[in-house]
Amino acid sequence: MPITIADVATRAGVSKTTVSRVLNGKGEVDGRTADRVRAVITDLGYVPSARAVGLARGRTRVVGMLVPALTWPWMGEVLQGAVDAVESEGYGLLLFTCNRGDESMRRFASQVSAKSFDGLLVVEPEGTLDYITALHERGLPVVLIDDRAHQPGFPSVRTTNSAGAAAAAAHLLALGRRRPLVVTGLSRFGCTRERLDGFAHGYADAGLPIDPALIVEGDFTFECGRFAVERLLAAGVPFDAVFAHNDLSAAGALQALRDAGLRVPEDVAVVGFDDLPLAGHTHPPLTSVRQPLREMGAAAARTLISHLAGTPLPDTPTIIPTSFTVRASTGTT
């Protein structure tokens, strides 16, 4: 049977509270009593629970992370960045998803009440921003990753969606592509609006406003990219490029073009967004706006841990810019 704090207290002839005070360095304990307790701890080989000691000290050295689901294509990159930063500082990570909706949130709330972690990283599950804001206002340090233009009243880390999309437009314009099909994400997301605005402004500034018939709302899935291409081809709407709001829907567009016997990039050039590992393995490899996902996760975690060490939380968002990776789906400029 494992040795408990009660065993130490009995052998040393003191209360569990006294043993706890010796372990945590809190409160007044007579020197000889403290020495006796430490000797018993050594004799019995008692190893205190790190979690119990942390709670007694008011800190768990654990960071919570709340995300919608792990099935999102880019979530693994964000999570890896956060884990790298958290572990490098000697913290643990407690991960929560919303796979089960309200049930998941109830379980998460119970861990908040139990003070199971010192601070929280969030990739916002839909409909939770008010609750997360309330937690922050009640004293829980929170840092948001991938702010979807909600501009919360607590720190966030985000990227340059509009500028990244504008870079995609500039690249396609340099290739002479004048009629791009745009496969957007869900319109309720701020990142979708930013990417559409940045891309559309790039074309408008070149005197080539995008035909509304070439803008198709998608949902970031492979199927939406494939469907958008199939739909326009069936309707006879001409296009010479595709800009998809994520790599997965761009991969769907590539599949539909290949099925239709069209050549990429000769007939249609294709650009995605995120630059996930997937982008290097499509056929042909996908040109993509690189979203700094791992860097965003790491930056958010470092911001939170620095705050736990005494640094004030920043008043403005941390913005890590996108970059652009050219591959065979567009050729070269």
Chain segment 126-148, per-residue pLDDT in tens: 888 899 999 999 999 999 998 76
The pTM score is 0.82
Residue 152 has what pLDDT? 74
pLDDT given for residue 29 in this prediction: 83
pLDDT of residue 223: 98
DSSP-derived pairing of the beta strands 119-122 and 62-67: parallel
pLDDT at residue 333 in the model: 47
C-beta of residue 301 within 8 angstroms of C-beta of residue 274: no
Q: Which pLDDT score, from 0 to 100, does residue 296 have?
A: 97
Work out the number of other CB atoms within 10 angstroms of the CB of residue 8: 24
CA distances from 107 to 14, 55, 111, 132, 203 (A): 37, 19, 7, 14, 47
Concatenate the DSSP letters of all residues of 16-59 into one string: HHHHHHHHHT-S---HHHHHHHHHHHHHHT----HHHHHHHHT-
Q: Are 210 and 201 in contact (CB under 8 A)?
A: no
The amino acid present at 141, given as its one-letter code, is P
Determine the pLDDT at residue 80.
97
CA 292, CA 290: separation in Å to the nearest integer? 6
Nearest alpha carbon to residue 22 among 39, 44, 43, 4 = 39
DSSP letter (8 states) at residue 125: -
Q: Which of 81, 149, 145 is nearest to 294 (CA)?
A: 81
**Strand runs (DSSP E) across the chain, as ranges?**
62-67, 92-97, 119-122, 142-145, 156-159, 180-184, 215-217, 241-244, 269-274, 287-290, 318-320, 323-325
Low-confidence ranges of the chain (pLDDT < 70): 1, 25-27, 48-58, 148-151, 332-333
Helices in 58-210 by DSSP H: which ranges? 75-88, 102-113, 129-137, 161-174, 190-205
